[in-house]
Amino acid sequence: MGFCMRLLLAEDEEDLSRALVTVLKHNNYSVDAVYDGAEALDYLENGGNYDGVILDIMMPKMDGITVLKTIRRHGNSVPVLLLTAKAEIDDRVEGLDSGADDYLPKPFGMMELVSRVRALLRRTAATPEKVRKFYQIGLVSVDVEKHEVLVDGNPVTLTYKEFELLCYLMENEGIVLSRDRLLSKIWGYDFDGETRTVDVHIRTLRQKLGIGGSIIETIRGVGYKADSCGKRE
């Protein structure tokens, strides 16, 4: 028997949970299933290492967003796929900003979920070799392992997605990155053409970086790049 990747499934609808467990096990995943957010958090913090987490947003005792924020705050970078009700756009945005790697709106097909899980684990498995530990452009420095951003030696607090966005821009210093590329890389999905999501995060990121925000240059009609001689627009 081959190696099975270990998943945690947190879904309070028991019939759906049982169906998901069956499909995932059939596709050679080992699955622990829990039915509320508090139990999910306990498993994640005390139940050993998981290769991925499937996390419903609406759960009793503790919602999925709170679980997600808590594990990210504690330094757990396990890949997370959020399950959301289709109408909850704000929840999707908040979840992705809180550190989710992808989302899947309900209702969904079972094989679509399996495909998303495969892509998520494949994408994150390829990441470690590429990630540098430290970036410095102009007055802005980033320590990836410590999740620390300094501007002229002063700490700056960023959300999970803002941090990822800054790291990706700095990793590709001098390279123009389109809005679509940034959306796909940082959010990991097609956001119904909402490339404004990128613009909003760039604007907030610049504001938080203050004098360091000038390293992010707008390339009109294309996207953005990080450069020590960057020009803001």
Q: To the nearest 5 percent, what fractions of the chain are helix, strand and coil?
A: 40, 25, 35
Phi, psi of 219 (to 5 degrees): -105, 105
Classify domain 5-125 by CATH architecture. Answer: 3-Layer(aba) Sandwich (3.40)
CATH 1.10.10.10 intervals, the chain? 134-226
Query: 10 Å Cβ neighbour count for 115?
Result: 13
pLDDT tens figures, 177-218: 998 888 877 776 554 546 677 888 899 999 999 999 999 999
Give, in words, the CATH class of 134-226. Answer: mainly alpha
**What is the percentage of the chain residues whose pLDDT exceeds 90?**
32
CATH 3.40.50.2300 intervals, the chain? 5-125
Average pLDDT over residues 106-115: 88
Secondary structure letter of residue 184 according to DSSP: I
pLDDT at 151: 93
